Amino acid sequence: MADIKILLNGKEVTVREGQTILEVATEYGIEIPTLCHDEYLKPYGSCWACLVEVKGAKGFVPSCATKVYEGMEVDTDSEEVRAARQMALELLLSDHYADCTAPCILECPAHVDVQGYIALINDGLYHEAVKLIKERLPLPLSVGRICPAFCEKECRRQIIDEPIAIRQIKRYAADKDLEDSANTYIPECKPSTGKEIAIIGAGPAGLTVAYYLAQQGHKCKIYEAMPESGGMLRYGIPEYRLPKEILDKEIDLIKKLGVKIHNNEQLGRDFTIQFLYKEYDAVFLGFGAWTAVSMNIDGEDLKGCHLGIDFLRDVVDGKITKVGKKVAVIGGGNTAIDAARTALRLGAEKVMIVYRRAEEQMPADEVEVIDAKEEGIEFHLLQNPTKIIGKDGKVEGMQIIKMRLGEPDSSGRRRPVPIENSEFIMQVDTVIPAVSQKPDTQFLLDEIAKINGKNLNLTRWSTIEVDEDTMCTNIDKIFAGGDLTRGPSTVIECVADAYKAAKSIDSFLKGEKIKPTKEKFNSKKAESYKDLDPEDFKEYEKASRISSGHLDVKDRISNSKEVEKVFTNKQVHDETARCIECGCDVNPTCVLRKYATDYDVIATRFVGEVNNHPIDKTHPFILRDPNKCVNCGRCVRTCLEIQGVGALGYIYRGFKTLVAPEFDESLMNTSCLSCGKCIDVCPVGALTPRNTQYKLAPLDYEEIQTTCALCGAGCSVTYMKKDDIILKAEATDSPITGNNVCFNAHFGYEVLQSQERITQPMIRKENQLQPVDWEEAMDYVTDKLTELERDVAFFSNGNYTNEDLYLISKLAKQYKNNKKYSWELNGSVIKDKLDINFSPNPSADLNHADIIVLIGDVTHTVGVKIMQALNNGAKLMLIHPGEDRFARRADFNITTNYYIEVINEFAKYLVEYRHHNIDYIARYVGNFVDFNHQLQHTIQTGEFMDFAHELLSFKKVIFVYSESDLDYDTQNAIFNLSMLRGDIGTEGNGIVSCSELANKPSLLENGFVPVKNYQKLKSAAIFGEDPLYNNKMEIYEWLNSLEFLLVADSFMTETAKMAHVVLPLNSFIESEGTITNDNNVLQTVTEVRNTVTGKENWYLLKDLLGLDSTLEEISEDANREFNSDERVESRYIPSEEETQKIELSFTHKPSIARAAIELNATRKKILDFKEKMLGKK
Amino acid sequence: MENSVRIKIGLASCGIAAGGLDVLEKVEIFLKEHDVNAQLDHTGCIGMCYAEVLMEIEDNEFGNTMYGYLNAADIDDILNAHFIEKKPLTEHIVFSDKLGGEEKQILDYQTRIVLRNCGVIDPESIDEYIERGGYEALKDVLKDMSPIEVIEEIKESGLRGRGGAGFPTGLKWQFAYNNYADKKYVICNADEGDPGAFMDRSVLEGDPHSILEGILISAYAIGSDEGFVYCRAEYPLAVKRLRIAIEKAKEKGFLGSNIMGSDFNFDLTVYEGAGAFVCGEETALMKSIEGKRGMPTLRPPYPAESGLWGKPTNINNVETLSNVSWIIRNGAEKYAEFGTENSKGTKVFALTGKIKNGGLVEVPMGMTLRDVIYKIGGGIIEDRKFKAVQLGGPSGGCIPESLLDTTVDYDSLTKTGAIMGSGGMVVMDETTCMVDMARFFLNFTQDESCGKCTFCRIGTKRMLEILNRITQGKGKPGDIEKLEGLSHKIIKGSLCGLGQTAPNPVLTTIKYFRDEYEAHINDKICPAGVCKDLIKYLIIEDKCIGCGACKLACPVDAIIGEKKEVHTIDQDICTKCGACMTACKFDAVEKL
């Protein structure tokens, strides 16, 4: 293509003719958003996110579809363009009835990924869950016990029944993580930056800042005024809610990051702020709000009167060990309740809470109020003390006035108003006013606290003034957060502040500009669950919230034991299963969300009717949420044009237009192949994978790319996993297979992760297979193999790596007859006649053919390549026994069971009408005259003459079939025909053969042959084959007669059940090595998850061989032996040698030409699983 | 032809709708009973739809006599007077050679090229078409002209596409000709979908062979051997007559192999659409023929390069094609005599709305709108005040009174913000609310969007919601600007004509009648008294005599008042149907 010049955003650039604006922009590093563009599909132009301005064009131009021309002037980023893109996105989002992020996460002040950890806990991944929690909250052991759980208040589950018990679930995971101390999650710290931070206060805020900054490699020193650390967690929260032992462990985990805590050192008393400013690179102030606010009434100085927070602290410190008999606590907050319950535990006979408003207005947690009531604490509501009465300097009673509720105040709560003349006296001997706290910050106003002539700015509530987005104070280097800046609040809010502060401090220390993190765009179904229609949730069955239960009252009020019990395993599983997964599964990767964020979209700009469709959960593998669809049509086009299925389409018109199966039916009622390709191309979360075993969530998964070893295509696939569990899969772009996978790679991994896998060796003892350890098994097998002087025949299927097959072959070589068979090998005419192990034409040749003749079934990926060729203009002749997905695309459709007759008839007319390649035949065919005689005299039907004539009119013809599907004779007939054409192996002409065997070339190279005369074999070692799967009596009898039978497989097959010894094998997702695909391309298999057998396959084989090599060495040997350099995409090239002629053999056998495929257990299990889940079995 | 009598009855859809078949039956009976020797024929629409049923009698005695506004009951009297008593009833005559009637001027102001045979010949008779020179052009072309010469002739005539966009037809053919391929297609777009437009239907029903001849000539010119007429299924009569025409043309050897002895082969199929407006868009239309969902595709590639099934395709609409044979027979030069510099020939308009003489008119390009509306259309019903004329249907725009002297040609109309479009011309008077009118058209386009482009699918919906709000009295300051903002982006950010033009009615009404929008939004008033939520009916105390007629008429019992006492309307119950106003004989009900 010629180079041309265009003006791109005012700059002249050289581009190639034929490129689109989008391609050019990408090349020059300009990002243009697009939702509907897919490089594997023709430009479509529906989303208009990619619009640009081209000088002279009438309107905007979709850059995905517009080709450049000489002198074109393009503007990709003008104000007009940005505004239009923003509008397109806003319009899309105005009809997007969906949540990006679950409300629980948004409601949590620290935005802990609740949905994520609930899923991980449900999947049994406690350490992963805690790791996720600790990305935002370093104190799950504590917060899991005492948090008021903002998350639960907006939990959507309560539309159905009750909110999820999120706090307790979190606590459970944190406890579990701690329990399994060897694996307790401790984050890694970056190398030291040499920077040091002073943190004042070892409470929730200070500990949080230290936790995050230490991970960044900064040295953190915490100064704590109190003798013990934890701040309010220790001194404000009673033991029965948060055992101090737990708190200590939580603080220890933070200390493990190298954080140093200096206790008994108080700012303003032991050192000055100037000192900190001078000595440290940054300072974080988080010393809380510790000064109890008194009620300013008479008698507060009497003995027996303690201010709330002082009281709790003194109890922890041991300064108070008992209280009077009748205790009154004043206030309605958590501190008041804590004080009351603590007083009870210190032996008070009667504890009363006196609160000036009604219960409805009480700020304390509902749960705490309930617990307190259970424990017998009396609530005196709408009462307020006016003075404390004393005798002999000791409290004797209180004068109380009754109140009523008046007009709402600025906080929206109804104001308490005293009722005149309603005073009465209450007899008490202890009074604990617990009305409020504030920080002690007055010392910061002193001259001595000045830095560069400035004091820190305080608010009128004595808190430190900060920028709430960055936690910066008015003095550089000094940051603050927690109760110190917000006044008394919750732990989780302080943690949220501290997280922000840590980010700012880190930026500051790195010399970056401190700016608030740009929040990602969040689409919301509604602001609150209350605004949602319960109808939308009717699909969920009701299931009550599970309670872990509390200690009985009698067992708890006389001591400080933790009141709340812990979930059992089952309880936590059931409770996490209740989560309805509000947040979108793809929110980390959603393109719409990214663009909405980039373009500062305001979702409420265009408010109007919103399409609301039921979510289609009928398909076991594909979840379809039409509400998230942006009508980009990528799934529709991919399904029809690439997969050739057309399960999805557009229905309705106008605003109601919807991508759906026809008649808006379930995806199950379509011809869907469950290949999952629609999921891969969906730019949003309208189509997402489902997992039948595990709960999925929008998480950052670990991604590992490998080559699928379940058929000969060798598709590149990326598995997404957490810990050692694969949860999702996706096709990866690959030059060999394009961007494609089928069901097997996309969902089949579930089978490989199932409980059905065998993981332990077994030896037959007393006619029973019994599990043994590896040592015993290896000794047994080695002995047996050595002991057997006679031959042992080796069997293997093609789904193992080059290395594994090489080693099995090496094992076989130890016996003089060196017998190597594969039940799966059908016999390959190509191998026999042309002496090559791969397809004579690479599958890429399909794209060069004028007509493709497809005989029978082929592998999914070859099918996709055929579709692509058809899209590019090739014609299709289909020879098939019935309807299949190619039928509608076929230009010539031959429905028959007898392929061989059709092919032979084609051959007859080819010669009869002189379309055969006489020169080629003379040069390469040895017996043409005989062959032709047979051909012309045997074939007489004439039934397919018209098709033959059509076929003769095309120049370039490719025959495609699968060696796993066609019997030997049919393959042979096709070979004959192709030889007569004399163009086998040339571009666009010849044969593309594929196979269900992932590594057939290697199997053949290693000398494995189709099984014959097996009845004569006396001992067998079968790797990954199940000859008994279709219950043939003669095979059973043979197996039964064997002197020795070793079966190595991933599943307990019928054959394995007959073995003397069974060795567990890893599947390809647990293997490392190389494989060679149908086109002779060497590819890498990567270990996605750890071995499930405890011994990698190659390691096991190496041990059997008594070798001491590494995998690299084996790989080198295996591939050297078979010229790995030549393992690239190959085609058949006829030999130059004069003497080499090929004998054609005529066969004419009108039989049903479909081979019985000897499925190996893995593929069979996957097929069974698919059919079972889809309800076909 | 001494005593020959011929009677023609207009039996296009308009004639049938007005009772044409009953009239036909009556005439048949009369002729039989009175033994009148007359040839009775069907014919198509002559354009005077307002005056249907029309019956034309040709005889030696009175020449041509056109009776109009007929119904079956009049027939006996009229025919009796005409044939037996020989004293024709002049009050039923619309125009005639000898007997008075003045409405011929409606035809006199017109230039009928496209409609040359409509209402004149029997559309189901190929012979009558041939008699009037039909298929001569095809014969000439096949005998004497090369494809390039045909294309040059059409180019020279200045014919532009009558489907809306006005692309030069000859050039379009040239593009299709230029692309070599083993197969090429021609398509006649007969998917006339604009509300208020029916000129294509009239030609299909009244003169189908002129379209066939045009298609054949275009096919010959570009080198195609197969074509389709994509006709909306809502035109059953048109489909039927097309099929008859195709059959007859095949019989005559005008379709099929070796047409008229030449080596030109051509097959034509009628394809019925399934009711999607967007299928009038050429790329969507082709998808629909291919059996796929009618959704427009990106251009380029243009149909001339890759159209139906990826083959070069020429697609023209009905009106364009029916000009073709006339041009070939009369010469490009003659054709170019009509019209203006850049808009040659004539244009057919479907005149509807608040106009006296609603129907089909064909005028030379360059006539003013005022002449079309007043001279041909006869002005506004009840001589009310003209307010605006909507041109081009839902894709077009309105033109206010101040611009009535705009001439009908592509460029002048585009300047006003309206478009020529397919030729719908809806006349509106002071009783039309312009906001409501814009809402009506937008409602149509938004419903008919194929749903592909974001701006069109959701943008028009949001515009419609705003317009709904405004007409319901819930308009907010800023709504007009929001409408304008959305409009501009929808126009610039849509693939096909539907989206690119959908906001036109809104934009032009805002341009010329902004005050009406403001009255709705700011004052919560609908000046035309149309928007129900913004009007109320009140009883004027001074005029009400308490007769109770309004109370009786009210379907929802919203009127209270004792006999002989002043009545009042309970506004909470009133549904604003206006029945009381109609019922009141004393003008005591007013609409505010």
Q: What is the pLDDT of residues B128-155, one digit of tens each?
A: 999 999 999 999 999 999 999 999 999 9
Shared domain check, B232 and B277: yes
Facing B492 at nearest CB: one of A60, A65, A657: A60
Shared domain check, B93 and B236: no
Per-residue CA distances from B76 to B25, B33, B54, B80 (Å):
11, 11, 15, 6
Please give the pLDDT value at position A872: 87
Question: Mean per-residue pLDDT for A342-357?
Answer: 93
Shared domain check, B482 and B440: yes
CB–CB of B454 and A58 under 8 A? no
Percentage of the residues of chain B whose pLDDT score is greater than 90: 84
Q: Chain B partners of A60 at a C-beta cutoff of 8 Å?
A: 492-493
Of B312, B336, B360, the position where a domain reaches its end is B336
Report whether pLDDT(A342) > 80: yes
Per-residue CA distances from A330 to A319, A344, A354, B377 (Å):
21, 15, 5, 89
Question: Mean per-residue pLDDT for A298-324?
Answer: 92
CB–CB of B458 and A606 under 8 A? yes
Per-residue CA distances from A591 to A32, A635, A667, B136, B147 (Å):
12, 15, 24, 61, 52
What's the CATH code of the domain at B403?
Answer: 3.10.20.600
Interface probe with B: pick from A653, A657, A875, most Cβ of B within 10 Å: A653
Report whether pLDDT(A1123) > 80: no
Shared domain check, B231 and B145: yes
Please give the pLDDT value at position A1177: 56
Facing A94 at nearest CB: one of B295, B448, B462: B462
Residue B113 resides in a domain: no
Residue B112 resides in a domain: no
On the question of a cis peptide bond just before residue B300, with omega within 30 degrees of 0, the verdict is: yes
Per-residue CA distances from A214 to A258, A469, A506, A517, B341 (Å):
7, 21, 10, 20, 81
CB A981 within 8 A of CB A917: yes
User: A44 in contact with B at a CB cutoff of 8 Å?
Assistant: yes
Domain with B242 in it: 126-336
- The HSE-up count of residue B167 (CA atoms within 13 Å, CB side) is 14
A942 or A621: which carries more pLDDT confidence? Answer: A621
CB–CB of A655 and B492 under 8 A? no
User: A266 in contact with B at a CB cutoff of 8 Å?
Assistant: no
CB–CB of B454 and A92 under 8 A? yes
Paired residues of A260 in beta bridges:
A221
* E strand residue ranges, A116-239: 196-200, 219-224
Q: Chain B partners of A51 at a C-beta cutoff of 8 Å?
A: 492-493
Q: Which chain B residue has the Cα nearest residue A662?
A: B293
How does pLDDT run across A182-229, given as a tens digit for each residue? 999 999 999 999 999 999 999 999 999 999 999 999 999 999 999 999
How does pLDDT run across A599-632, given as a tens digit for each residue? 999 988 999 999 999 999 999 999 999 999 999 9
Residue B3's pLDDT band (cuts 50, 70, 90): low
Residue B119 resides in a domain: no
Q: How far is CA B36 from the centre of its chain?
A: 37
What's the CATH code of the domain at B201?
Answer: 3.40.50.11540
User: A1177 in contact with B at a CB cutoff of 8 Å?
Assistant: no
Rounded CA separation A229/A1103 (Å): 55
Rounded CA separation A233/B557 (Å): 71
Question: Mean per-residue pLDDT for A353-366?
Answer: 92
Facing B452 at nearest CB: one of A46, A655, A873: A46
Residue A1136's pLDDT band (cuts 50, 70, 90): confident
What number of other Cβ atoms are within 10 A of residue A511's Cβ? Answer: 6
Which residues have CB under 8 Å from A659's CB, separation 6+? Answer: A626, A629, A631, A633, A635, A636, A648, A649, A650, A651, A686
CB–CB of B451 and A652 under 8 A? yes
How does pLDDT run across A731-743, given as a tens digit for each residue? 999 888 888 899 9
How does pLDDT run across B184-226, given as a tens digit for each residue? 999 999 999 888 899 999 999 999 999 999 999 999 999 999 9
How does pLDDT run across A227-278, given as a tens digit for each residue? 999 999 999 999 999 999 999 999 999 999 999 999 999 999 999 999 999 9
Please give the pLDDT value at position B2: 45
Residue B107 resides in a domain: no
Interface probe with B: pick from A42, A44, A46, A662, most Cβ of B within 10 Å: A46
How does pLDDT run across A28-74, given as a tens digit for each residue? 999 999 999 999 899 999 999 999 999 999 999 999 999 999 999 99
Residue B120 resides in a domain: no
φ, ψ of residue A475 in degrees (nearest 5): -115, 135
Per-residue CA distances from B487 to B132, B226, B446, B502 (Å):
48, 40, 13, 8
Of B429, B452, B467, the position where a domain reaches its end is B429
Facing B462 at nearest CB: one of A88, A608, A630: A608
Please give the pLDDT value at position A1159: 66
CB–CB of A95 and B453 under 8 A? no
Lowest mean pLDDT: which of A276-285, A1153-1162, B479-488?
A1153-1162
CB–CB of A655 and B446 under 8 A? yes
CB–CB of A84 and B453 under 8 A? no
Rounded CA separation A423/A384 (Å): 9
Q: Chain B partners of A609 at a C-beta cutoff of 8 Å?
A: 461, 465
Residue B528 resides in a domain: no
Question: Mean per-residue pLDDT for A718-724?
Answer: 95
Measured in angstroms, the CA of A99 and the nearest CA of chain B are apart by: 19
Percentage of the residues of chain A whose pLDDT score is greater than 70: 98
Residue B238 resides in a domain: yes
Question: Mean per-residue pLDDT for A507-536?
Answer: 94
Percentage of the residues of chain A whose pLDDT score is greater than 90: 82
Q: Chain B partners of A92 at a C-beta cutoff of 8 Å?
A: 454, 458
Shared domain check, B438 and B421: no
Q: Chain A partners of B448 at a C-beta cutoff of 8 Å?
A: 653-654
Facing A606 at nearest CB: one of B447, B449, B462: B462
What's the CATH code of the domain at B37?
Answer: 3.40.30.10
What's the CATH code of the domain at B546?
Answer: 3.30.70.20
Percentage of the residues of chain B whose pLDDT score is greater than 70: 99
B interface with A, Cβ–Cβ < 8 A, is: 276, 278, 293, 295, 298, 300, 310, 446-455, 457-462, 465, 485-486, 489, 491-495, 500
Rounded CA separation B30/B79 (Å): 8
Report whether pLDDT(A1156) > 60: no
What is the SS3 assignment for A367? helix
CB–CB of B449 and A608 under 8 A? no
Shared domain check, B304 and B156: yes
On the question of a cis peptide bond just before residue B53, with omega within 30 degrees of 0, the verdict is: yes
Shared domain check, B52 and B134: no
Residue A382's pLDDT band (cuts 50, 70, 90): very high
Q: Show the domains of chain A with their CATH numbers.
A: 1-77 (3.10.20.740), 103-185+528-577 (1.10.1060), 196-290+439-509 (3.50.50.60), 318-427 (3.50.50.60), 791-828+1002-1070+1088-1123 (3.40.50.740), 830-996 (3.40.228.10)
Measured in angstroms, the CA of B444 and the nearest CA of chain A are apart by: 10
Q: Which chain B residue has the Cα nearest residue A608?
A: B462
User: A94 in contact with B at a CB cutoff of 8 Å?
Assistant: yes
Shared domain check, B309 and B365: no
CB–CB of B451 and A656 under 8 A? yes
Rounded CA separation A1040/A885 (Å): 43
Shared domain check, B403 and B453: no
Report whether pLDDT(A1070) > 70: yes
Shared domain check, B242 and B370: no
Average pLDDT, chain A: 93
- The HSE-up count of residue B7 (CA atoms within 13 Å, CB side) is 22
Report whether pLDDT(A1153) > 80: no
Residue B183 resides in a domain: yes
Residue B1's pLDDT band (cuts 50, 70, 90): very low
A405: closest CA among A395, A416, A397? A416
CB–CB of B492 and A84 under 8 A? yes
Report whether pLDDT(A1154) > 70: no
Facing A653 at nearest CB: one of B276, B455, B486: B276
Interface probe with A: pick from B305, B489, B491, most Cβ of A within 10 Å: B489
Rounded CA separation A238/A342 (Å): 7
Please give the pLDDT value at position A644: 87
Q: Chain B partners of A45 at a C-beta cutoff of 8 Å?
A: 298, 453, 495
How does pLDDT run across B234-245, given as a tens digit for each residue? 999 999 999 999
CB–CB of A45 and B298 under 8 A? yes
Of B370, B404, B429, the position where a domain reaches its end is B429
The pTM (predicted TM-score) of the whole model is 0.92
Q: Chain B partners of A873 at a C-beta cutoff of 8 Å?
A: 310
How does pLDDT run across A973-1002, given as a tens digit for each residue? 999 999 999 999 999 999 999 999 999 999
CB–CB of B451 and A88 under 8 A? no
Please give the pLDDT value at position A1151: 57
Q: What is the count of structural domains for chain B?
A: 5
Shared domain check, B273 and B134: yes
Facing B448 at nearest CB: one of A48, A609, A654: A654
Report whether pLDDT(B406) > 60: yes
Shared domain check, B181 and B282: yes
